């Protein structure tokens, strides 16, 4: 009995928000202890590949590697694209969250977030990668449910709640009630696609090729979901390679131009929200009119996206506090609090 309690006290069970762009780790009774890019750098020597860097160190190498080093993201659209590399990345993050492999008192129980639209094959791949990385038991939680719990929505009550989680690879739209998803829709639109749209815009309009990191910086600094109220808005200098002359060049891009570049993707997110509302049961729709829509994820921080959704739906739209952390926080609460255990899936 005492040993059991001691083992429980010493346990380092965790929840992992395994994102396309970033991975967050929540340790039981400690909260979020790690937030790093989901990037792995592989080095090939004499035909043999080995991991050179993972996380923040690997992200610094994006677009700047020699021929024998490549940086990859083992997740695409919220699911595992390269299971072997994903396994090494998960193991690295588990060890780092505990302060080193020797600090893990036992194989931890792990809760991992998955897109609501992920297939059984994709879920099996995630479970296998986590088990091989050192988990004693792997439980899955759907991302919109985790986001809703993290945002403080009443998911255990007979009340309809709507969450829009815009991640790096996917946008999850869901209506929740009584520990379940009454309706969910996942579209392959997220922060990555927004970065690609900005890079494509500069290539098309200015014949300038910019890198992934530069496009992301443009999105964060002056990105906007709708046209600025006055003029062209803030302007930002962008450096890249001139596709005509083949030399480095700098241009200036305005907030208005970035809004134009993102307009089609924002339209797809709005369309997904409207589809979810059209398929909502009348009683749940009445609750949503009262409580509105809650937005989570990194994409929710795009300026003006809440305004665009509010105009399109006629409903109140709010961006959750700590929108970036909601999914990881919600998964962690589901791990810790018996009230939420019913939302976890072992299959």
Binding-site members are 168-170, 216-219, 298-301
DSSP 76-112: ETTEES-HHHHHHHHHHHHHHHHTSGGG--SPPEEEE
How far is 204 from 247, CA to CA, in rounded Å? 17
Binding site per annotation, positions for ATP = 168-170, 216-219, 298-301
Mapped onto helix, strand or coil, the DSSP state of residue 75 is: strand
CB 319 within 8 A of CB 306: yes
- Whether the Cβ atoms of residue 16 and residue 331 lie closer than 8 Å to each other: yes
Facing residues of 252 across strands? Answer: 237
For the chain, helix (H) and strand (E) counts, in that order, are: 11, 18
Return d(Cα 194, Cα 38) in angstroms, integer.
17
* Residue carrying structure tokens 């018996």: 338
DSSP characters over 254-320: EHHHHHHHHHHHHHHHHHHHHHHHHTS-HHHHHHHHHH-EEEESGGGGSBTHHHHHHHHH-S-EEEP
């Amino acid at each position: 009995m005492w040993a059991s309690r001691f083992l429980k006290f010493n346990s380092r069970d965790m929840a992992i928000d395994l994102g396309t762009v970033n991975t967050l780790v929540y340790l039981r009774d400690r909260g979020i202890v790690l937030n790093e890019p989901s990037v792995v750098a592989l080095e090939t020597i004499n035909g043999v590949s080995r991991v050179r860097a993972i996380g923040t160190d690997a992200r610094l190498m994006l677009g700047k590697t020699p021929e024998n080093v490549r940086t990859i993201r083992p997740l695409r659209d919220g699911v595992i694209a390269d299971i072997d590399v994903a396994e090494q990345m998960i193991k690295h993050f588990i060890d780092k969250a505990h302060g080193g492999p020797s600090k893990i008192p036992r194989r931890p129980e792990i809760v991992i977030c998955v897109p609501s639209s992920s297939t059984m094959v994709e879920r099996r791949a995630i479970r296998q990668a986590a088990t091989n990385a050192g988990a004693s038991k792997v439980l899955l939680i759907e991302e919109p449910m985790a986001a809703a719990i993290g945002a403080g929505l009443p998911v255990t009550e007979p009340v309809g709640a709507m969450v829009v989680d815009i991640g790096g690879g996917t946008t999850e739209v869901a209506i929740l009630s009584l520990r379940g998803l009454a309706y969910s829709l996942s579209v392959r639109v997220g922060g990555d696609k927004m970065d690609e749209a900005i890079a494509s815009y500069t290539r098309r309009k200015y014949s300038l090729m910019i890198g992934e990191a530069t496009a992301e910086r443009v999105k964060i600094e002056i990105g906007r979901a709708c046209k600025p109220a006055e003029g062209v808005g803030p302007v930002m200098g962008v450096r890249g390679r001139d596709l005509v002359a083949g030399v480095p060049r700098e241009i200036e891009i305005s907030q208005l131009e970035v809004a134009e570049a993102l307009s089609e993707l924002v339209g797809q997110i709005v369309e997904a929200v409207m589809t979810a509302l059209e398929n909502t049961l009348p009683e749940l729709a009445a609750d949503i009119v009262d409580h509105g829509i809650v937005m989570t994820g990194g994409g929710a921080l795009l300026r003006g996206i809440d305004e665009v959704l509010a105009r399109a739906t006629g409903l109140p739209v709010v961006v959750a506090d700590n929108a970036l952390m909601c999914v990881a926080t919600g998964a962690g609460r589901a791990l810790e609090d018996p009230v939420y255990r019913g939302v976890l899936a072992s299959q």
